[in-house]
């Protein structure tokens, strides 16, 4: 079962789940966003229609009011010839007072002569005042159109009131300019009229002259009366330049600086020949207008965000724990597979061991059987030298079998970790010298063998069993793989708290391609030919050194001999009773 091959597939599955969730959330988010966008548009459309209706209401009311004022001024102009003399003037004043009281939208009605002097008025305190320089006198004077009703820009009167005057030219006997009959609009009446269309606290309404001068604003704001709205980009300018009678716009208000939706309507009734129109504006603050929409959007957005976070967290949490479970399961499965492979390798190793040992035992057993048969059958006929030779064969065979058994037992002890460290005080030089002599005798050496022990070796606390396995196996290999007459040497020294062993030979050497595997159990190089061995010696050496904390290095090449350098740290002091369980490094 290929566990590694499943990891990319799992990653793709996790990624696909995340992408599916992201796509679902994106679709849901787009749907919510689109619905809120549609709702935003519906709110704007509904409110623009409502504002336009309110502006139209003011337009209709003001249109009828202007139509009534026009008819009243025209009637006064027709009756002027009958108001001659003192009694006629008094009659005219009483008539104007009654007319002004009857018209709620009119504050003052007056008659101005050709010189600009107020001669008749419902307010006696202004009679005799000269207003020839006022706009409401100058416009008819310059226009001189009998049928035109002149609308003056807003101004402050002699009595201190802010008004708009409406006037008609009074013709002379020959049709020439002979004065003005004028009515001043009552700002309080129009304030009530504008306030009647306000249905929200954030609304305001305003009335302005056609030239851009603002007449009044409801609710009243300081500095708004008389403000010139004819500015680039203002609602008034945009409405006027559009050429339409009514508009609904949104943006920043020039007069107040706040963001508003505004309905504007030009007031110019068809029945009244006005020289300049009036413009009414009704608006709402867009922030207040969309306040509920924003709260709903924030609520839905927050709920969607929480839902998205919860779903994402849940998916990530699930995938995280699923991944942990899969990793744990994969680890257990890998351990089972490794255990199975290890068991298989162990079985194979046992098989190789049995095969190798059986093969290696065959030669000494044959030698032992042959020499024993010769001694049994021909003992009396053999010479003394021949008997000695046969006995040497028996001893050699026994030594070979004993060496094989020792190698197998040593490998098994080290491989199963049942060895315990037993450090004792030893004389390093004498210990190594003894092993060297044993190896020479055991191998029936006819080699040039030299042993060099440095004077500073002294004594140290070391595990004798492990040290013996290192020195004995290295020397045995040196003798075994060095042809007769070759040289073998061992040099023992002590430097910087470390025991150093250098075992060299002039034997067949180790090819470079074999050196990487030379310490594997049962591995033998392809140049050993028919030399005896089971391939455990260097494996035993390496395992023993790992337990001693030492290291080994090889300097060899094929046909040029081998030099093995061993370094072992020396424990200067150690409790005699301490025994540490063996651990594999």
pLDDT digits (tens, 9 = 90+) for 220-253: 888 788 889 989 989 999 999 999 999 999 988 8
Domain presence at residue 23: no
In this predicted structure, the answer to whether residue 574 has a pLDDT above a threshold of 50 is: no
In this predicted structure, the answer to whether residue 579 has a pLDDT above a threshold of 60 is: no
Tokens of 487: 């040289």
Domain presence at residue 404: no
In this predicted structure, the answer to whether residue 527 has a pLDDT above a threshold of 80 is: no
Q: Note the pLDDT of residue 413.
A: 56
Q: Which of 289, 321, 343 is the last residue of a domain?
A: 289
* Beta strands at 278-285 and 448-453: parallel, antiparallel or unpaired: unpaired
280 and 366 share one domain: no
pLDDT digits (tens, 9 = 90+) for 559-571: 888 898 999 998 6
444 and 532 share one domain: yes
353 and 454 share one domain: no
Model confidence band, residue 53 (pLDDT cutoffs 50, 70, 90): very high
Higher pLDDT, 112 or 534: 112
In this predicted structure, the answer to whether residue 258 has a pLDDT above a threshold of 90 is: no
Domain presence at residue 563: yes
Domain presence at residue 30: no
441 and 546 share one domain: yes
266 and 320 share one domain: no
Name 362's bridge partners. Answer: none
Q: Note the pLDDT of residue 152.
A: 93
225 and 371 share one domain: no
Domain presence at residue 493: yes
251 and 357 share one domain: no
Model confidence band, residue 468 (pLDDT cutoffs 50, 70, 90): confident
Domain presence at residue 159: yes
- Environment class of 499 (CB within 10 Å of its CB; exposed 0-12, middle 13-18, buried 19+): buried
Domain presence at residue 27: no
The domain in which residue 159 lies consists of: 41-289
361 and 480 share one domain: no
Long-range contacts of 395-401 (CB under 8 A, 24+ apart): 396/364, 396/367, 396/444, 397/364, 397/365, 397/367, 397/368, 397/371, 398/364, 398/368, 399/442, 400/360, 400/363, 400/364, 400/532, 401/361, 401/364, 401/365, 401/368
Q: Note the pLDDT of residue 148.
A: 94
In this predicted structure, the answer to whether residue 387 has a pLDDT above a threshold of 80 is: no
Global confidence as pTM: 0.55
131 and 167 share one domain: yes
Q: CA neighbours within 13 Å on the CB side: how many for 67?
A: 11
**CATH number where 512 lies:** 3.30.565.10
Taking CA atoms, 73 is separated from 79, 125, 170, in Å, by: 10, 21, 10
63 and 138 share one domain: yes
In this predicted structure, the answer to whether residue 349 has a pLDDT above a threshold of 80 is: no
379 and 245 share one domain: no
**CATH number where 126 lies:** 3.30.450.20
Q: Note the pLDDT of residue 179.
A: 94
pLDDT digits (tens, 9 = 90+) for 2-18: 555 556 667 788 788 88
Q: Which of 367, 383, 399 is the last residue of a domain?
A: 383
Helix axes 3-79 and 85-102, enclosed angle (nearest 10): 160
pLDDT digits (tens, 9 = 90+) for 284-298: 998 888 999 999 999
Where is average pLDDT lowest: 307-316, 335-344, 570-579? 570-579
Number of domains in the chain: 3
Q: Note the pLDDT of residue 67.
A: 93
167 and 118 share one domain: yes
Domain presence at residue 157: yes
């Amino acid at each position: 079962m290929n566990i590694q091959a499943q990891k990319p597939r799992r990653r793709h599955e996790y990624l696909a789940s995340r992408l599916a969730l992201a796509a679902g959330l994106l679709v849901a988010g787009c749907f919510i966003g689109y619905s809120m966008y549609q709702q935003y548009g519906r709110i704007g459309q509904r409110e623009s229609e409502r504002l336009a209706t309110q502006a139209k209401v003011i337009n209709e009311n003001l249109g009828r009011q202007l139509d009534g004022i026009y008819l009243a001024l025209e009637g006064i102009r027709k009756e002027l010839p009958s108001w001659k003399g003192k009694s006629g003037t008094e009659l005219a004043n009483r008539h104007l007072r009654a007319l002004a009281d009857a018209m709620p939208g009119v504050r003052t009605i007056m008659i101005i002569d050709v010189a600009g002097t107020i001669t008749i008025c419902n307010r006696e305190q202004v009679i005799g005042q000269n207003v020839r320089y006022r706009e409401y006198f100058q416009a008819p004077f310059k226009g001189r159109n009998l049928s035109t009703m002149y609308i003056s820009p807003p101004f402050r009167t002699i009595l201190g009131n802010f008004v708009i005057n409406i006037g008609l030219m009074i013709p002379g006997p020959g049709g020439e300019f002979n004065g003005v009959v004028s009515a001043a609009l009552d700002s309080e009446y129009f304030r009530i009229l504008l306030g009647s269309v306000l249905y929200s606290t954030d609304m305001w309404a305003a009335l302005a002259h056609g030239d851009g001068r603002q007449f009044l604003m409801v609710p009243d704001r300081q500095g708004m009366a008389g403000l010139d709205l004819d500015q680039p980009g203002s609602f008034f300018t945009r409405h006027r330049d559009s050429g339409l009678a009514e508009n609904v716009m949104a943006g920043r208000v020039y007069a107040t600086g706040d963001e508003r939706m505004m309905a504007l309507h030009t007031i110019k009734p068809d029945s009244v020949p006005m020289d300049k129109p009036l413009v009414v504006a009704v608006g709402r603050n867009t922030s207040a207008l969309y306040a509920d929409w924003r709260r709903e959007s924030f609520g839905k957005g927050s709920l969607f965000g929480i839902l998205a976070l919860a779903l994402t967290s849940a998916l990530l949490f699930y995938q995280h724990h699923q991944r942990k479970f899969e990793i744990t399961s994969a680890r257990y499965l890998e351990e089972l597979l490794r255990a199975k492979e290890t068991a298989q390798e162990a079985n194979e190793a046992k098989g190789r061991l049995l095969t190798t040992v059986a093969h290696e035992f065959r030669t000494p057993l044959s030698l032992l059987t042959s020499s024993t048969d010769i001694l049994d059958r021909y003992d009396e006929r053999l010479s003394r030298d021949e008997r000695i030779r046969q006995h040497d064969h028996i001893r050699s065979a026994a030594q070979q079998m004993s060496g094989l058994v020792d190698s197998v037992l040593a490998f098994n002890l080290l491989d199963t970790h049942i060895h315990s460290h037993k450090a004792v005080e030893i004389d390093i030089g004498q210990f190594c010298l003894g092993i060297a002599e044993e190896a020479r005798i055991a191998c029936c050496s006819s080699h040039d063998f030299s042993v060099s022990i440095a004077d500073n070796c002294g004594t140290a606390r070391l595990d004798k069993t492990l040290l013996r396995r290192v020195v004995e196996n290295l020397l045995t290999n040196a003798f075994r793989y060095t042809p007769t007459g070759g040289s073998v040497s061992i040099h023992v020294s002590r430097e910087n708290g470390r025991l150093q062993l250098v075992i060299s030979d002039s034997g067949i050497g180790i090819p470079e391609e074999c050196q990487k595997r030379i310490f594997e159990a049962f591995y033998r190089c392809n140049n050993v030919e028919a030399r005896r061995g089971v391939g455990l010696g260097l494996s035993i050496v390496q395992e023993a050194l790992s337990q001693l904390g030492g290291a080994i290095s090889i300097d060899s090449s094929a046909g040029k001999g081998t030099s093995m350098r061993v370094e072992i740290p020396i424990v200067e002091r150690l409790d005699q009773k301490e025994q540490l369980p063996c651990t594999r490094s």
